A = this chain, B = another copy of it.
């Protein structure tokens, strides 16, 4: 696709964008502030810019009068770039111009780590848990009276080098008729042992050759959302994916309230039923989307946190929330999916990811496996930031983990106008360095409804770095009166006036919101710090950082470092894997090698209970600042702040 250069004046900033990009997004990307309250919907009319050269589509609305249009004014949020262009941002005074420092660098999100199926195959790691084999068996006669099952097993032994096979009753029941209907030409489905040398189970038998129809489902059972993928076991492709809110949400938002509900009479049965309902809904969607029959799905792999896993398996999680916080089990044998109520064929096994402890569950273990941390030499810090945050440090030789009581601030919890990353969420933000007027960009370029995690991080980082917020997260009242106000004794910044929102209320960010964010990021940062110290390391020893979780792909890394959520490090050493739990579930669907290794990984993983690690509280308290009590831990930020003064 064609790319165009956009030059912003009077800054002189230049950025290359794709044809059709919206001008205000190009400005944000280039670090150029343009006032904008309404998220990009064209309602507030503040983002007027002067087109000096080049061609744009749109940008002319009733918010601009005819003379302005004639002069070349356009609304940046309504303008699509069609050639190299030069635009000028109107500024009030020369002082303003001098203050128009372009942000330190363009937005920099983490590189996304993808699974390379061909590489897996090349490395000999493609050992799917369920394989199909097409067989043309000899027919029995008076000289060859082998029982049907023995015939099948012997043929696999002689012609496919399969020496350790078990046949279960349902296959015995189907086999005689299918052999004779198909003229002894059948496809056998083999469930592979996790440990090499163990027996494979013949779990299904089909008439004719159906080897090209072999699929698996991978699922992440999140407390809030359940994600599912349909995977082609022959190609490794994701055929379809779908997410649904976990049906258990009606019984409590978080893990603890679910556990409480599970203790009520029939509560456990209800929660199990409901989450399986969600699983089945997703399966129906992804098989329909892909034109696959549920009978062609040979396995399902499920990963979730410890409570979700126990609820899904109908194991009461009551002791997870009672000291000393002991889970019932952390390793699970494969079981028939139907035995959990999952709508798949009788023969499909459900493979459940093992956990480490009550608060470091199968979702984290799946992430570790999916991201390949257990196979690398590099010392890797893995952070999964979702409703809560879990951190893992280690490499192929050792692993340590901890759960941080971060709370859901990054998913919008504890923040008055916090929301999930959905349409209308402010996802990016800039501040006029002189007037402290906001530039809000929303998901979908519509009027704002709230603030999502990545928006919140950028907002607080920008306010702090511009001096509007001090290191304790308090607003400097003297900076501006236009947008700062006190409501019920709490100082808040008005991001968007009611008229410019979808919710007909002013959208604000208060010191309470910021305090909650600081507590959340402080818990995560100090959690990592404590964990590293417990294994005798510091942040400097970390070779790579892997981020997982719903919000991670949109987070500007520099801003995350500015608020002290992430340690300051080279962004090239940071990768993002998205939903690590889902990725790990998918990887396990594709290769048994991971299912074999995961047992060792969970045994190898040392779990630290932060609340009982003496140094943790000190680290936590020290982290309750922007970015931290010890600014020397953030030298790049320190340099920028010094420079700015």
- A interface residue numbers (CB < 8 A to B): 140-142, 144-151, 166-169, 172-173, 175-177, 180, 313-316, 318-319, 323-333, 335, 339, 357-358, 607, 609, 612
- Shortest Cβ-Cβ A-B pairs, 7 listed: A149-B329, A147-B327, A172-B329, A176-B328, A147-B330, A140-B326, A148-B328
Q: Which of B168, B328, B339 contacts A149 (CB 8 A)?
A: B328
Q: Which of B142, B151, B168, B324 contacts A142 (CB 8 A)?
A: B324
Are B329 and A177 in contact, CB atoms less than 8 angstroms apart? Answer: no
A335 to B150: give the CA distance in the assembly, Å: 19
Are B326 and A145 in contact, CB atoms less than 8 angstroms apart? Answer: yes
Chain B residues contacting A331 (CB-CB under 8 Å) are 149-150
Are A140 and B324 in contact, CB atoms less than 8 angstroms apart? Answer: yes
Chain B residues contacting A150 (CB-CB under 8 Å) are 329-331
Chain B residues contacting A145 (CB-CB under 8 Å) are 324-326, 357-358, 607, 609
Are B333 and A148 in contact, CB atoms less than 8 angstroms apart? Answer: no
Chain B residues contacting A314 (CB-CB under 8 Å) are 173
Chain B residues contacting A144 (CB-CB under 8 Å) are 324
| A331 nearest in chain B by CB position | B149
Chain B residues contacting A318 (CB-CB under 8 Å) are 176
| A322 nearest in chain B by CB position | B180
Instruction: Pick the most buried of A169, A325, A332, A609: most chain B CB atoms within 10 A of its CB.
Output: A169
A323 to B169: give the CA distance in the assembly, Å: 24
How far apart are A221's CB and chain B's nearest CB, in angstroms? 16
Contacts known (A169-B313, A173-B314, A319-B176); A329 close to B141, Cβ less than 8 A? no
How far apart are A142's CB and chain B's nearest CB, in angstroms? 5
Sample of 11 A–B contacts (CB below 8 Å): A142-B612, A147-B327, A147-B357, A148-B326, A148-B329, A149-B331, A169-B315, A169-B332, A172-B332, A173-B313, A176-B316
Contacts known (A147-B330, A148-B329); A316 close to B167, Cβ less than 8 A? no
How far apart are A612's CB and chain B's nearest CB, in angstroms? 6
Instruction: Pick the most buried of A141, A144, A172, A180: most chain B CB atoms within 10 A of its CB.
Output: A172
Chain B residues contacting A319 (CB-CB under 8 Å) are 148, 176, 180
How far apart are A532's CB and chain B's nearest CB, in angstroms? 21
Are B172 and A328 in contact, CB atoms less than 8 angstroms apart? Answer: yes
Chain B residues contacting A172 (CB-CB under 8 Å) are 313, 315, 328-329, 332
Q: Which of B177, B316, B357 contacts A177 (CB 8 A)?
A: B316
Q: Besides the contacts A147-B357, A175-B328, what 15 more A-B pairs have beta carbons closer than 8 Å?
A: A141-B324, A142-B324, A145-B358, A146-B326, A147-B326, A149-B331, A150-B329, A151-B326, A167-B329, A169-B332, A172-B315, A173-B314, A173-B328, A175-B329, A177-B316
A142 to B314: give the CA distance in the assembly, Å: 26
Are B147 and A333 in contact, CB atoms less than 8 angstroms apart? Answer: no
A324 to B335: give the CA distance in the assembly, Å: 37
A176 to B325: give the CA distance in the assembly, Å: 12
How far apart are A183's CB and chain B's nearest CB, in angstroms? 15
Chain B residues contacting A316 (CB-CB under 8 Å) are 173, 176-177
How far apart are A78's CB and chain B's nearest CB, in angstroms? 57
Chain B residues contacting A149 (CB-CB under 8 Å) are 328-331
A316 to B176: give the CA distance in the assembly, Å: 8
How far apart are A320's CB and chain B's nearest CB, in angstroms? 9
A593 to B374: give the CA distance in the assembly, Å: 41
Are A168 and B333 in contact, CB atoms less than 8 angstroms apart? Answer: yes
| A141 nearest in chain B by CB position | B324
Chain B residues contacting A180 (CB-CB under 8 Å) are 319
| A612 nearest in chain B by CB position | B142
A609 to B313: give the CA distance in the assembly, Å: 50
Are A323 and B177 in contact, CB atoms less than 8 angstroms apart? Answer: no
A488 to B523: give the CA distance in the assembly, Å: 104
How far apart are A359's CB and chain B's nearest CB, in angstroms? 11
Chain B residues contacting A357 (CB-CB under 8 Å) are 145, 147
Chain B residues contacting A607 (CB-CB under 8 Å) are 145
Are B169 and A327 in contact, CB atoms less than 8 angstroms apart? Answer: no
A448 to B169: give the CA distance in the assembly, Å: 48
Chain B residues contacting A323 (CB-CB under 8 Å) are 142
A177 to B326: give the CA distance in the assembly, Å: 12
Chain B residues contacting A330 (CB-CB under 8 Å) are 147, 149-150
Chain B residues contacting A177 (CB-CB under 8 Å) are 316
A151 to B330: give the CA distance in the assembly, Å: 11
Chain B residues contacting A168 (CB-CB under 8 Å) are 333, 335
A325 to B180: give the CA distance in the assembly, Å: 13
Are B328 and A147 in contact, CB atoms less than 8 angstroms apart? Answer: yes
| A329 nearest in chain B by CB position | B149
How far apart are A394's CB and chain B's nearest CB, in angstroms? 19
Chain B residues contacting A147 (CB-CB under 8 Å) are 326-330, 357
Chain B residues contacting A175 (CB-CB under 8 Å) are 328-329
How far apart are A637's CB and chain B's nearest CB, in angstroms? 38
A167 to B328: give the CA distance in the assembly, Å: 11
How far apart are A327's CB and chain B's nearest CB, in angstroms? 5
How far apart are A220's CB and chain B's nearest CB, in angstroms? 21
A585 to B324: give the CA distance in the assembly, Å: 47
Contacts known (A149-B331, A169-B335, A335-B169); A176 close to B324, Cβ less than 8 A? no
A145 to B328: give the CA distance in the assembly, Å: 11
